Amino acid sequence: MTIIANRGTTAPTDTPHEIERYPLFDRMVHWGVALTFTYLLLSGMALAYPRLAWLQTWLGGGQTVRAAHPWVGVVFTVGVVLMIVQWARQMRFEPTDREWVHRMRAYTRTGHSGVDVGRYNAGQKGYFWFVVVFSLILFVTGIPLWYPWMLSSGWNQAARLIHHASYLAMLAGFIIHVYMSTVMLPGTMSAMTTGKVTRGWAAWHHPRWLREKEGAGE
Ligand code: HEM
């Protein structure tokens, strides 16, 4: 397929025929992670900031929130482990990723890097590993907060600080991820809803991935 230059900021979405980007299981894991993350985000805010304690009434009451937060954290972590099993191989960095990083400014302006990107660009790979690292930090530091008698109060304070800092980092990453998937890059959401994207979207954002799929007869 010829890639036609497009001076706009969006992918051409009028090409017929969609191709599969995510099978049902991948989407279920992603939305399971998104749902549990949203609960953790809100219940974490309710527990951490007295001014936001009113959120607890929405989430089942103070005692429920305190009891549910760590268990939902366990489910979230299991989801992230499944994401690692599904995607880690495809998220390995490769030499063309360096080129993508050099063109990141152009990418944030136009939504297009001009690099022959495969299934994921360097930004997506970076976000994936960021989620993996910070989710594991949140899990490990969450355990002593769940069972405070395990460690001395000094270590507990350190765990609380790291847990909170990681939570803020994940919040920032989440806002950027949602903005990019919905507003900034039209045509992307269908990848995680119907599991399909248009060939125009794929040619624009992931041309090498599209060639590989077409080469495999899709
Ligand atoms: C609820 C809001 C969310 C929306 C609307 C959303 C949307 C999406 C979409 C459309 C994709 C496919 C992108 C593509 O294939 O090009 C994606 C991928 C991904 N999502 Fe989400 N997502 C959300 C929440 C989350 C959360 C909470 C996490 C993890 C904490 C997460 C982690 C990922 C990862 C690692 C990928 C693969 C790499 C990437 O495309 O960035 N997502 N998401």
Is the confidence at residue 54, as pLDDT, over 50? yes
Q: Is the dihedral of CA 34, 37, 38, 39 positive or negative?
A: positive
Instruction: In whole angstroms, give the CA distance from residue 108 to residue 79.
Output: 29
Question: Is the beta carbon of 177 within 6 A of some atom in ligand 1?
Answer: yes
Looking at residue 11, its pLDDT comes to 53
Question: Is the beta carbon of 130 within 6 A of some atom in ligand 1?
Answer: no
Question: Is the beta carbon of 134 within 6 A of some atom in ligand 1?
Answer: no
pLDDT, the chain, mean: 91
DSSP secondary-structure letter at 115?
A: S
In the reported structure, the alpha carbon of residue 98 is separated from the centroid of ligand 1 by a whole-number distance in angstroms of 22
Q: Give per-residue burial for 63-76: e unless 16+ CB within 10 Å, then b.
A: eebeebbbebbeeb
Q: List, in order, residues 6 or more apart from 217 with CB less than 8 Å away.
A: none
Looking at residue 113, its pLDDT comes to 87
The architecture of the domain spanning 19-95+117-215 is: Up-down Bundle (1.20)
Instruction: In whole angstroms, give the CA distance from residue 30 to residue 32.
Output: 5
- The pTM of the whole model exceeds 0.85: yes
Question: Is the beta carbon of 139 within 6 A of some atom in ligand 1?
Answer: no
Helix, strand and coil percent figures for the chain, each rounded to 5: 70, 5, 25
Question: Is the beta carbon of 125 within 6 A of some atom in ligand 1?
Answer: no
Q: Has 205 been annotated as catalytic?
A: no
In the reported structure, the alpha carbon of residue 30 is separated from the centroid of ligand 1 by a whole-number distance in angstroms of 7
Per-residue pLDDT band for 16 (boundaries 50, 70, 90) equals low
Of the residues 30, 163, 177, 205, which is catalytic? 177
In the reported structure, the alpha carbon of residue 102 is separated from the centroid of ligand 1 by a whole-number distance in angstroms of 23
pLDDT in tens, 66-116: 999 999 999 999 999 999 999 999 999 999 899 999 999 989 888 888 899
pLDDT in tens, 191-208: 999 999 999 999 999 999
Instruction: In whole angstroms, give the CA distance from residue 151 to residue 52.
Output: 28
Mean pLDDT, range 174-190, rounded to an integer: 95
Tokens 């765990």 sit on residue: 159
What are the domain boundaries of the chain?
A: 19-95+117-215
